[in-house]
Amino acid sequence: MPIDYTANLHLLTPEFVLTALAFLVFTVDLFLPESRKEWLAGLSVVSLVAVMVIAILMRPAGSVELYGGLIVVDSFGLFFKIFFLAIGVGIIALSVEYGRDRLDHRGEFYGLLLFSILGMNLMAMSRELLTAYIALELLSFSLYVMVAYGLREARSNEAGIKYIIIGALSSAIMLYGLSNIYAALGTTFFAGIAEELASPGTVSPVLWVGVALLVVGLGFKLSAVPFHMWAPDAYEGAPLPVTAYLAIGSKAAAFALTLRLFAEAIVPAVNRWDEWQLVIAVLAAVTMLLGNLVALAQRNLKRLMAYSSIGHVGYALAGIAVLGSDFALAAKSVVFYLVVYAVTNLVVFAGVTAYYNRTGQDNIADLAGLADRQPFVAAAIAIGLFSLAGLPIFAGFTAKFYLFAAVADGGFLWLAGVAIFASLISLYYYLQVLRQMYIERPPNPDHAEEEHEPADGHEDAHGHGGHDEPPVPPMPRPSLLLTATMGVGLLVVTWLGVYPAPLLGLIDAASAAIVPLG
Amino acid sequence: MVPLLYFQLLGAALFGIGFYGVLARRSAVLIVLSIELMLNAVNINLIAAASYLNGTGRFAAFDGQIIAIFVITVAAAEVGLAFAIILRMYRNRGTVNVDEINLLKW
């Protein structure tokens, strides 16, 4: 049966436009003088918004398959596309100042960002393993380069090496799983896997190995716990905006893929084989406990955020584990959690970037007295961390409430208990950061200890009042763009915490598109 | 005719050797080469499976040999990237020994 590979091709217009614009950014970069590279950031933001508009205008009614079912354009994909493009805008807002001051060749940075977003979009739309894999690699390859972007910084290089080696290893494991699935089934479509798992009779061990290795490969990409060891190093060594992007974008994309994979390949077989729920549940419990416990010992902010993000992956995985019980509820709460997590993290990272751009410091102890020096930055970080910890009013509470309720409803009461316990642990280290900002005195320049030496060196450049009576070394204002990012982010975080209904309505429509039929 | 299982065992052995190499090697370059071994195990699996599935009725539109070509392409790009980053490391630190790449830990 011949497949019409050009049918409905126009539905991919957003992706084609995004590809073209990414190449355009690379090309324009060649002709722009060094002083005008910021234009590329503007061009990238304009292209992301344009693609967003095109994607919304060209959305089909219902879901439409392309390339004989390799890719599907539906409301789930559309929702994640808009989400990823918005993340891209946020990350560009974070990187403009950082790139200008601290990165070489920053023009290509924006092009790579656009390509990685293209990869993320395709991940949310693919319903076949090889397509999903190629999309994942497009994302990963861009990220490898972006993590190692600090050309002359040994730490950035080291993060890049660790990330690419573990990333390539996980790809190899995933592909080996794919090859076994192909050998067992003769197909790599998600639906084909579900058909075989759900059909009566013994399932070939080759297929078991394949599915297991596939999940392991995804575990690496999600940084779920036994496969998380690359994450803290990659986060710490990467340039700050890239750290934010790793924490927000690559996680969200990996979860979009995981959601669709589970919805189409694994959940339909739940009646015949539901042990997978327990496997994922244990994975989730270990991930949230270990991520949050190890975070207690961290001194570096980026590393703290890395472990905290591992903990958050654990919560979202708990939602994946109950997909088989009440699919619509679980999928909805996972997606909502991802959105909230992304916005909240964006606020925190905008605050940390604002601080880092002015001082070059990223240790938790360096934040001492920030509330006196830059109250707004401190407040943004504080509210972001409160939201991550899941305190009421802020979005994090609503998201965790929905998610944990879904987990408990799905028959995993113990997992919901572990999740609440893990949230309590996380509150401790988030409050440590707050203690530094609001209670600790800022480093006193009069008797500057050794570890604060670099801090004073930086401060001297900005204010000469160091040796006078006021013990608060002034910190220059953060850039307008970062302040605006924090402001908008804070508004969204509060809004989603108080009135999440409109977003939940959209998410309902999105996750309805992938509800398994069986 | 050689059974498919033999090819799968060959693939598994190659995959295991590659995985051992990733864990045991100390040079970043050799680790990347070990990952290449793992990817070639994938290719053996795919191509063998494709030629066996060809006779059965389960042969789907998406061919194992095509997947193998994709894998080769992606692997080539991956090696290029990995060596570029390793080269950077070598210029900055003068070593590619992963035991000495230890600025970031805990």
Instruction: For residue A359, tell me if it sits in a domain.
Output: yes
- A215's tokens: 């999940």
Q: Please give the structure tokens belonging to residue A230.
A: 């690359």
Chain B residue numbers touching A158 (CB-CB < 8 A): 89, 101, 103-104
Contacting residues for A96 by C-beta, under 8 A, at least 6 apart: A38, A41, A479, A481
CA distance to partner chain A, nearest, from residue B102 (Å): 8
CA distance B64 to chain A (A): 7
Compute the distance between CA of residue A427 and CA of residue A438 in angstroms, rounded to an integer. Answer: 16
Distance, in Å, from the CA atom of B33 to the CA atom of B14, rounded to the nearest integer, reads 12
Task: Give domain status of residue A344, yes or no.
Answer: yes
CA distance A154 to A150: 8
Chain-centroid distance, C-alpha A212: 24
Q: Tokens 């909805």 — which residue? A: A332
Q: Do B42 and A164 touch (CB under 8 A)?
A: no
CB contact under 8 A, B35 and A182: no
Question: Which candidate from B85, B98, B103 shows the least CB-CB separation from A160?
Answer: B85
Query: Judged by CB atoms within 8 Å, which residues 124-153 of A form the interface with B?
Result: 128, 130, 133-134, 137, 141, 144-145, 148, 151-153
A72 forms beta bridges with: A65
Q: Please, what sign has the CA dihedral across residues A198, A127, A137, A511?
A: negative
Q: Does A508 touch chain B (CB under 8 A)?
A: no
Contact flag B53-A189 (C-beta cutoff 8 Å): no
In a domain, A340, yes or no: yes
Q: Is B62 helix (H, G, I), strand (E, B) or coil?
A: coil
Longest dimension (CA), chain A: 84
Contacts B103 to A, Cβ<8 Å: 154-155, 158, 237
Q: Which domain holds residue A361?
A: 274-444+471-518
- Asked if A45 and A91 touch (Cβ cutoff 8 Å), the reply is no
Q: Are A72 and A507 in contact (CB under 8 A)?
A: no
Nearest chain B CA: its distance from A187 CA (Å): 6
Please report the ipTM that was assigned to this predicted complex: 0.94
Contact residues, chain B, for A290 at CB < 8 Å: none
Q: What is the pLDDT of residue A465?
A: 43
Nearest CA in chain B to A130: B67
Mutate to test the interface with B, among A4, A140, A164, A166 (most CBs of B within 10 A): A164
Give the Cα separation of A141 and A159 in Å (integer).
14
Of residues A192 and B83, more confidence is placed in B83
A333 touches chain B (CB under 8 A): no
pLDDT in the model for residue A3: 66
Smallest CA–CA distance, residue A186 to chain B, in Å, is 5
- CA–CA distances in Å: residue A197 to residues A346, A385, A412, A456, A499: 39, 42, 23, 63, 41
Q: Burial level of A86, CB count in 10 A (0-12/13-18/19+)?
A: middle
CA distance, residue B40 to nearest chain A CA (Å): 9
| Cβ atoms of residues A427 and A358 within 8 Å | no
Does residue A366 form part of some domain?
A: yes
Q: What is the pLDDT of residue A446?
A: 54
Are the C-beta atoms of A217 and A171 separated by less than 8 Å? yes
Structure confidence at residue A37 (pLDDT): 85
Please say whether the beta carbons of A224 and A279 come within 8 A.
no
Cβ neighbours of A503 (radius 10 Å): 18
Residue A212 at interface with chain B, using a CB cutoff of 8 Å: no
DSSP string, A278-308: HHHHHHHHHHHHHHHHHHTT--BHHHHHHHH
Contact A176/B at CB under 8 A? yes
- Does residue A495 lie within any of the structural domains? yes
- Looking at residue A68, its pLDDT comes to 79
pLDDT along chain A (518 residues), means of 10: 72 92 93 87 93 90 83 92 95 91 87 95 92 94 92 88 93 93 87 82 83 92 89 92 93 93 85 81 94 92 93 94 87 94 94 90 86 89 93 90 92 92 93 90 59 46 46 76 92 92 90 76
What is the DSSP secondary structure assignment for residue B60, as one 8-state letter? -
- pLDDT of A471 reads 57
| Of the partner residues A152, A175, A192, the one whose CB lies closest to the CB of residue B92 | A152
Number of domains in chain A: 1
**CB < 8 Å from B in window 442-471 of A:** none
Residues of B with Cβ-Cβ distance to A297 under 8 angstroms: 106
Let me know: does A64 contact A11? Beta carbons within 8 Å.
yes
Surface of A (57-116) touching B: CB under 8 A: 68, 70
Within 10 angstroms of residue A273's Cβ, the number of other Cβ atoms is 13
Tokens 């052995």 appear where?
A: B13
Considering the domain boundaries, does residue A394 fall inside one? yes
What per-residue confidence (pLDDT) applies to B106? 57
Domain presence at residue A35: no
Q: How far is A222 from chain B (nearest CA, A)?
A: 19
Q: Is residue A259 part of a domain?
A: no
d(CA A134, nearest CA chain B) in Å = 8
pLDDT at A387: 93
Nearest-by-CA chain A residue for B51: A183
For residues A470 and A115, give the distance between their C-alpha atoms in angstroms, rounded to a whole number.
49
Contact A137, A175 (CB under 8 A): no
List the beta bridge partners of residue A71.
A66, A126
**DSSP bridge pairs for A73:** A64
**Helical spans, DSSP H, in A296-374:** 301-321, 327-359, 370-373
A-chain residues near B74 (CB < 8 A)? 133-134, 137, 171
* DSSP track, A375-407: HHHHHHHHHHHHHHHT-TTSHHHHHHHHHHHHH
- What is the set of domains in chain B, with CATH numbers? 4-93 (1.10.287.3510)
